[in-house]
């Protein structure tokens, strides 16, 4: 794949420098067959340095959940070599099994089967809390 | 169908309604004696809490209902590794309402997601204990005749004391309430508890000195200062006596002060005070039964 251009896929831009691998892991890009490019520490007028991820495939995942990891990122959807959509991820009301509750007193610490669900409490502050123990979410 | 996992599940109007029902039960208990006949309460206690369990069971029995359940994890299916969800699904086949105590935070929420009958949180670790808060509110209402226009002192461990946090959350809904927060520096109320106070412009003062504020208080809510909350023994020994209520200190207090305590007490209230009419903590335990009766009636949608 030419890193500059992809035909049908997603370009995740304006990732805070150093966060690309976190997003790579979160989207489980390691499991994909298609070409994936990670560009680290690219020059950015806005951020100084930024990371970029290019995926040459149409992914069937909710990219809004990325908003929790880094709300400043830009998602570009590419179709037939043309950018058809550009947006910032919007914080979802609820995120399931993306982050784990770290509270050792939480019921999720002893019941492995439970989904780890966090509810959006404060959109301005990007604050999520565990639906069981109400602990603040942290990556 | 409703579940109660936190005091915030109830609106102020609903809390007032529960208190009114409890007061009616106190006045004419015979009216309610058969209200829940043939209904069954399951008390699922994954950790022992005899006081809370007996209060729930007495409440159901006085409504003419029956009780079943377990009083510690070792004697339950949890000891065999069964999940809360599976236990609750099974119990729903036998019971009409569940009261659950669990050492892990959020376990009653898990139960409520799988239950086909109402679930009441009877305490989940250090997290929520809504029937304790309802008990505290009924006690204040019974002793003072109102929940508004009161100066409420909270004394002891205000950092980890969940009963204190949810009492603040519940009482700041009423007009004219002022809080006086009395604790050692190490055990001050965490900032997130103060958010509703700041938001609603509720007056509160913080101090480390109980004696200096005692004359202003209408209510004094005592909690235990536990040894394990301190980094070193010296701090604990230095501080613990300042937060023990004695007859000498009580001389500074109003004649109609109401002293509350969620119990069990260790040494933070001198036994010499027990005979003082201002000591409400044993009456508080009795009120706990009546408010639980009111809550069971509400959740079972029984009208008397
Ligand atoms: Zn949790």
Predicted pLDDT at A98:
82
User: Is there a contact between B126 and A134 if contact means CB atoms under 8 Å apart?
Assistant: no
Q: Is A82 helix (H, G, I), strand (E, B) or coil?
A: strand
- In the predicted model, is pLDDT for residue A1 greater than 70? no
Kindly report the nearest CA distance between residue B187 and chain A, in angstroms. 20
Predicted pLDDT at A46:
80
Residue pLDDT tens, chain B, 304 long: 999 999 999 999 999 999 999 999 999 999 999 999 999 999 999 999 999 999 999 999 999 999 999 998 887 777 778 999 999 999 999 999 999 999 999 999 999 999 999 999 999 998 999 999 999 999 999 999 999 999 999 999 999 888 999 999 999 999 999 999 999 998 999 998 998 899 999 999 999 999 999 999 999 999 988 777 777 888 888 777 788 999 999 999 999 999 999 998 888 999 999 999 999 999 999 999 999 999 999 999 999 9
Read off the DSSP letter of residue A114.
S
Within 52-111 of A, beta carbons closer than 8 Å to B belong to: 103, 105-111
Q: Are residues B75 and B206 in the same domain?
A: no
Q: Are residues B229 and B257 in the same domain?
A: yes
Q: Are residues B278 and B179 in the same domain?
A: yes
Q: Are residues B93 and B212 in the same domain?
A: no
Q: How many domains does one find in chain B? A: 2
Angle of helix B84-91 versus helix B107-114 axis, rounded to 10: 50
Q: Are residues A14 and A69 in the same domain?
A: yes
Q: Are residues A98 and A83 in the same domain?
A: no
Q: Are residues B255 and B161 in the same domain?
A: yes
Tokens of B78: 């949890």
User: Is there a contact between A111 and B84 if contact means CB atoms under 8 Å apart?
Assistant: yes
Predicted pLDDT at A3:
55
The model's confidence at residue A72, banded by pLDDT at 50, 70 and 90, is confident
Kindly report the nearest CA distance between residue A35 and chain B, in angstroms. 41
Q: Are residues A44 and A99 in the same domain?
A: no
Tokens of B15: 């809390």
Domain containing residue A72: CATH number: 3.30.70.140
Residue entry with tokens 């159901």: B60
Q: How far is CA B26 from CA B40, B64, B174, B296, in A?
A: 22, 15, 23, 15
Q: Are residues B144 and B267 in the same domain?
A: yes
Beta strands in B1-78 (DSSP E): 40-45, 66-70
Predicted pLDDT at A126:
82
Residue B107 domain-assigned?
A: yes
Predicted pLDDT at B108:
98
Residue numbers of the domain that contains A110: 94-130
Q: Are residues A68 and A112 in the same domain?
A: no
Residue B101 domain-assigned?
A: yes
User: Is there a contact between A103 and B107 if contact means CB atoms under 8 Å apart?
Assistant: no
- CB atoms inside a 10 Å sphere around CB B29: 13
Kindly report the nearest CA distance between residue A88 and chain B, in angstroms. 30
Tokens of A3: 């890193």
Under 8 Å CB-to-CB from A45, ≥6 apart: which residues?
Answer: none
Q: How many domains does one find in chain A? A: 2
> What ipTM was reported for this prediction?
0.89
Q: Are residues B34 and B93 in the same domain?
A: yes
The model's confidence at residue A2, banded by pLDDT at 50, 70 and 90, is low
Predicted pLDDT at A30:
87
Bridge partner list, A49: A43
Predicted pLDDT at B135:
98
Q: Are residues A21 and A71 in the same domain?
A: yes
Q: Please tell me the pTM assigned to this model.
A: 0.87
Q: Are residues B53 and B149 in the same domain?
A: no
Predicted pLDDT at A138:
83
Distance of alpha carbon B227 from alpha carbon B135, whole angstroms: 27
Residue B218 domain-assigned?
A: yes
- CB atoms inside a 10 Å sphere around CB B274: 12
Q: Are residues B124 and B137 in the same domain?
A: no
- Going by C-alpha positions, the residue among A52, A66, A54 that lies closest to residue A8 is A54
Distance of alpha carbon B11 from alpha carbon A85, whole angstroms: 44
Residue A137 domain-assigned?
A: no
Residue B92 domain-assigned?
A: yes
Under 8 Å CB-to-CB from B230, ≥6 apart: which residues?
Answer: B186, B236, B239
Predicted pLDDT at A85:
92
Domain containing residue B118: CATH number: 3.40.50.1370
Q: Are residues A19 and A83 in the same domain?
A: yes
Distance of alpha carbon A82 from alpha carbon A127, whole angstroms: 35
Under 8 Å CB-to-CB from B286, ≥6 apart: which residues?
Answer: none
A119 interface with B at CB cutoff 8 Å? no
Buried b / exposed e along B67-81 (16+ C-beta atoms within 10 A): bebbbebeebebeee
Residues of A in contact with B125 (CB under 8 A): 105, 133
User: Is there a contact between B83 and A113 if contact means CB atoms under 8 Å apart?
Assistant: yes
**Residues from B in contact with A at Cβ < 8 Å:** 83-85, 102-107, 109-110, 124-127
Predicted pLDDT at B239:
78
H or E segment and range at residue A52: strand A48-55
Q: Are residues A107 and A65 in the same domain?
A: no
Residues of A in contact with B102 (CB under 8 A): 107
Q: Are residues A43 and A25 in the same domain?
A: yes
Kindly report the nearest CA distance between residue A79 and chain B, in angstroms. 42
| pLDDT one-digit tens code per residue, A93-125 | 998 888 899 999 999 999 999 999 999 998 888
- In the predicted model, is pLDDT for residue A77 greater than 60? yes
DSSP B258-281: EEE--S--SSSB-GGGTTSTTB-H
Residue A138 domain-assigned?
A: no
Among the partner residues A113, A114, A132, nearest to B105 by beta-carbon distance? A132
A25 interface with B at CB cutoff 8 Å? no
Under 8 Å CB-to-CB from B209, ≥6 apart: which residues?
Answer: B182, B242
Distance of CA B115 from the midpoint of ligand 1 (Å): 20
Which residue in chain A is spatially nearest to B103 when comparing CA positions?
A: A105
Kindly report the nearest CA distance between residue A115 and chain B, in angstroms. 10
Q: How far is CA A61 from CA A26, A57, A58, A88, in A?
A: 11, 12, 9, 15
Predicted pLDDT at B78:
74
Q: Are residues A42 and A110 in the same domain?
A: no
Residue numbers of the domain that contains B79: 7-128+288-299
Residues of A in contact with B84 (CB under 8 A): 107, 111
Asked whether A81 and A89 are in contact (CB, 8 A), the reply is no
Q: Which residue has the higher pLDDT, B242 or A83?
A: A83
Q: Are residues B168 and B264 in the same domain?
A: yes
Among the partner residues B84, B85, B127, nearest to A133 by beta-carbon distance? B127
| pLDDT one-digit tens code per residue, A15-47 | 999 989 988 988 888 888 888 999 999 998 887
Asked whether B260 and B269 are in contact (CB, 8 A), the reply is no
Q: Are residues B294 and B246 in the same domain?
A: no
Q: Which residue has the higher pLDDT, A2 or B209?
A: B209
> How many CA atoms, within 13 angstroms, populate the side-chain half-sphere of residue B246?
8
- In the predicted model, is pLDDT for residue A61 greater than 80? no
């Amino acid at each position: 794949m030419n890193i500059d251009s992809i035909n049908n896929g997603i370009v995740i831009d304006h990732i805070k420098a150093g966060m690309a691998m976190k997003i790579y892991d979160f989207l489980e890009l390691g499991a994909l067959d298609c070409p994936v490019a990670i560009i680290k520490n690219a020059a950015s007028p806005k951020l100084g340095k930024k990371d970029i991820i290019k995926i040459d495939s149409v992914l069937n995942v909710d990219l809004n959940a990325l908003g929790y990891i880094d709300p400043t990122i830009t998602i570009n959807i590419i179709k037939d070599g043309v950018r058809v959509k550009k947006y910032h991820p919007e914080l979802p009301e609820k995120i399931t099994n993306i982050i784990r509750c770290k509270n050792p007193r939480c019921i999720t610490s002893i019941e492995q089967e439970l989904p780890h669900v966090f509810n959006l409490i404060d959109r301005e502050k990007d604050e999520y809390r565990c639906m069981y123990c109400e602990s603040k979410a942290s990556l | 169908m409703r579940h109660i996992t936190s005091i915030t599940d109830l609106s102020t109007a609903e809390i007032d309604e529960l208190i009114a029902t409890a007061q009616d039960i106190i006045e004419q208990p015979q009216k309610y004696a058969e209200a829940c006949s043939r209904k069954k309460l399951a008390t699922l206690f994954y950790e022992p809490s005899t006081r809370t369990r007996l209060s729930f069971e007495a409440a159901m029995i006085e409504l003419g209902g029956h009780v079943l359940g377990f009083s510690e994890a070792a004697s339950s299916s949890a000891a065999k590794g069964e999940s809360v969800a599976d236990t609750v699904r099974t119990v729903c086949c036998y019971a009409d309402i569940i009261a659950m105590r669990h050492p892990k935070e959020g376990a009653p929420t898990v139960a409520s997601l799988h239950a086909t009958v109402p679930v009441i949180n009877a305490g989940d670790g250090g997290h929520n204990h809504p029937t304790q808060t309802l008990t505290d509110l009924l006690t204040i209402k019974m002793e003072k005749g109102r929940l508004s226009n009161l100066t409420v002192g909270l004394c002891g461990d205000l950092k980890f004391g969940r009963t204190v946090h949810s009492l603040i959350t519940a009482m700041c809904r009423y007009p004219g309430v002022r809080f006086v927060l009395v604790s050692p520096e190490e055990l001050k109320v965490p900032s997130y508890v103060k958010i509703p106070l700041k938001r609603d412009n509720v007056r509160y003062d913080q101090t480390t000195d109980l004696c200096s504020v005692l004359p202003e208080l209408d209510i004094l809510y005592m909690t235990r200062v536990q040894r394990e909350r301190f980094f070193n023994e010296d701090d604990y020994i230095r501080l613990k006596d300042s937060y023990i209520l004695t007859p000498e200190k009580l001389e500074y207090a109003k004649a109609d002060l109401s002293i509350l305590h969620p119990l069990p007490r260790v040494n933070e209230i001198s036994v010499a005070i027990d005979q003082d009419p201002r000591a409400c903590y044993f009456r508080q335990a009795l009120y706990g039964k009546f408010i639980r009766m009111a809550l069971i009636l509400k959740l079972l949608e029984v009208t008397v």
